[in-house]
Structure 1
Amino acid sequence: MKQVTKATGPKRFYYATRYSIKGIRAAYASEPAFRYEIWAAVVLLPAAFWLAESGLQLGLLISSLLLVLIFELLNTAIEAVVDRAGTEFHALAGLAKDLGSAAVLFALIITLLLWGGIVWDNLFVAI
């Protein structure tokens, strides 16, 4: 059996980055929810720079946007694996998809809480 040698160093980083970009493009092309969340992040990112009064707040605002995208990518990966396993209904397949969706929901709630709290502190409490 022939052993496969993986690239190391900068070459490995190059290939890993290419695979990551390929995954982002695939999610954008196939998942409407991911597209909506990307466009929400594009709109909210400049708002984060305007709203944040500290580096910590800026980091929290941007991280929360990325968190939603991360969980959506993981949810998409779960759905792809479940769909690859078979087209017939199975309770565990449905559970896996529902749990992935719930994770995205919690990421969205975290984002709303962080943004809401920072908006409250910076725009209303300061008055």
Structure 2
Amino acid sequence: RYIKSRSDKQLRHGLQYTDSSCSPIERSNGLPVVPCGLIAWSLFNDTYDFTRGSMGLMVDRKNISWRSDREHKYGKDVYPFNFQNGSLIGGGKLDPDIPVSTSISRLLLVAHAIVYIFT
């Protein structure tokens, strides 16, 4: 159920593609949720600091997703809408003014592993 709770069409084309594939996270207060589904709702805000000796190391989170996904899978004009509003906000939030394709480093978990049985 978790892996199937998403909409690739919505990630590419936007709001008009909210459907039952996102259940149980498809609507909130009667309005569609973008990005929808349990996978997107599991947004994590993992923050790490790295050091070498006493010097802090910068971590570049840009372009950590597949270029083909950034260019073809996620629409450049799809923006978060009605996403994690209210008191049940999880580990992080998406800026509604930044396209999902740009925020995708925060949403890499929507690209689940092909084989999800790990030993």
Q: Same fold (TM over 0.5)?
A: no
Q: What is the TM-score when the length of structure 2 is the normalising length?
A: 0.26
Which of structures 1 and 2 has the bigger CA Rg? 1
- Between Structure 1 and Structure 2, the one with more strand by share is 2
- Between Structure 1 and Structure 2, the one with more helix by share is 1
